[in-house]
Amino acid sequence: MTDRTELLEAALDSWPDGIALVDGEGLVVLWNQAAEAITGYAAMEVLAHPAPEALKPLLRAGARPDGLESGGTAVGGALVQLHHRLGHEVQSMARTLPLRDGLGGRIGRITVFHPTEGLDALPHGESGEDAELPASQAEMEERLQAEFEDLLHGGPPFGVLWIMVDQAHELRKTHGAQACAAMLEKVEHALTSGLRPTEQLGRWGQDEFLVLSHERSPEMLAAHAQKLAGLARTADFRWWGDRLSITVSMGAAQAEKESSLTELLEGAGEAMLASLDAGGNKITSAPGEHTWSPS
């Protein structure tokens, strides 16, 4: 009869993601076949030894000093430029979680990681030649990658809202970049006020935003878009004493396991453009078949 430990080790060894178990003394006690293939380090090089210096950033990636040490759950993970045994770099997404005994004492940690396509391939909004994109865009990219991987492994459904501020381009031409930046800040604050705790808002180009939402269906995502569009309209933006009206065009798309993250974003972006083509101040659900005005 096969021992349960052998069954567990066989299951972890056949898992497509790299898996590393590190005990309380910092020694690697499990290094599956995927970990070998991704890093180039054979199990015999790392088992029962402290992790090689080249692997230490990987084995702590995504760990949250607050959540992990107190028993929380890591969410999102982190992008790591992994140095392969042969010297080249492999961009990977990695998450680290603590392992605890029945009394809550920490006995080690587990890191799960996999190579990921370059995030530069993801479709973004347009940016001016001299525009410096805010850090929130990079954070959003990492979160999107992690959420999509979670979805593929049975995680919660999610969708995205691609948001363009209708007046941004004209305001930049007539009043300059400073006025446009001030308006976008007002819109960002208004949108943030309508987000749920698990949602995230990030800049997605020069005049655009992206919202990652855990609404469970396209219909619920569209209803949430209605609410956020209304909040954007209430943003009180004044420039040199003049109050300027603000509206947004939105594209909503729900993630599906059968599609890729790039396809999800392309769908949301095309739906947003459909809202613009319809005159702005509209919401369109991917694949662009239903467009309506916010209530």
Q: According to the model, what pLDDT value does residue 72 have?
A: 37
Domain with CATH 3.30.70.270 in the chain: 136-292
Long-range contacts of 138-144 (CB under 8 A, 24+ apart): 139/200, 139/202, 140/200, 140/202, 140/203, 140/204, 140/210, 140/212, 142/76, 142/77, 142/78, 142/79, 142/93, 143/76, 143/200, 143/202, 143/212, 144/212, 144/261, 144/265
Region of 48 please: left (phi>0), alpha (psi -120 to 50) or beta. Answer: left
Per-residue pLDDT, 223 = 93
Of these ranges, 183-187, 204-208, 239-243, the one predicted with the greatest mean pLDDT is 183-187
Q: Which CATH class is domain 18-115?
A: alpha beta
pLDDT-derived band at 75 (thresholds 50, 70, 90) equals: very low
Instruction: Give the confidence band of 288 by pLDDT, cuts at 50, 70, 90.
Output: low
Q: Work out the pLDDT band at 281, boundaries 50, 70, 90.
A: very high
Angle between the 177-192 and 218-233 helix axes, to the nearest 10 degrees? 130
Query: Comparing 116-125, 210-219, 277-286, which segment has the lowest mean pLDDT?
Result: 116-125
Torsion angles phi and psi, residue 61, rounded to 5: -65, 140
Q: pLDDT value at position 49?
A: 80
Rounded to the nearest integer, the mean pLDDT of the chain is 82
Q: Model confidence at 163, in pLDDT bands (50, 70, 90)?
A: very high
Given a cut of 50, whether residue 177 has pLDDT beyond it is yes
* Range of weakest confidence among 10-19, 133-142, 148-157: 133-142
Over range 206-226, report the average pLDDT.
93
Tell me which fold the domain 136-292 belongs to.
Alpha-Beta Plaits (3.30.70)
